Structure 1
Amino acid sequence: MSQYRVLFAKQILGVPFTVGTVEIARARDPERAVRAAALRFARHHGVEDWRERADVAELDGAARVS
């Protein structure tokens, strides 16, 4: 299992601005890490879907640790 950091960004005029990050301590693969981070981000912000607060969710390439 690996550790991941997922970045959430809002795009304004095509430029992404980070609105939050979520660290996932253990996930089987990157896809599951993004799904878990999206759920945690939504819960933290009190919304049902993370897309209400951000436009993009992506893995931070430098944060993956095996």
Structure 2
Amino acid sequence: MSNYRVHFAKQILGVPFTVGFVEISRARDPERALKAAEIRFARSRGVNDWRERADTVDLAPHAEAEF
């Protein structure tokens, strides 16, 4: 299972500004990580759909910190 960081951005005059991100750990694949992040982002913002607060989403693999 992999870890992912999903960034949500709002575009203003064509320039993306990050409005938040969600870290997903232990996702089976990128599609499941993206879906989980969309739901978590929407719930944390108190909206039904993540698109109410962001225009774009970017999924990237994320390595856990090693101690």
Q: TM-score, normalised by structure 1?
A: 0.89
Please give the alpha-carbon distance, in whole angstroms, between the structure 2 residues aligned to 1:7 and 1:32. 15
Q: TM-score, normalised by structure 2?
A: 0.88
Cα shift readout 1:5-52 (whole Å, capped 9, x = no counterpart): 000000011110000000001111111111100000000000000000
Tell me the number of residue pairs that the alignment of Structure 1 and Structure 2 aligns. Answer: 64
Which structure's CA Rg is the greater one?
2
Instruction: Name the residue aligned to 2:38.
Output: 38
Please give the alpha-carbon distance, in whole angstroms, between the structure 2 residues aligned to 1:53 and 1:20. 10
Q: Percent identity?
A: 70
Query: Normalized per residue, which structure has more helix?
Result: 1
Deviation of 1:64 (Å)? 5.0
Contact 1:5 1:64 in 2 (8 A): no
Which aligned pairs between 1:1-20 and structure 2 lie closer than 5 A?
1-20=1-20
Q: Which runs of 5+ in 2 are unaligned?
A: none
Q: Which runs of 5+ in 1 are unaligned?
A: none
Structure 1 residue ranges, 4+ long, deviating more than 4 angstroms after superposition: none
* One-letter code aligned to 1:11: Q
- RMSD of the alignment, in Å? 1.3
Please give the alpha-carbon distance, in whole angstroms, between the structure 1 residues aligned to 2:63 and 2:55. 22
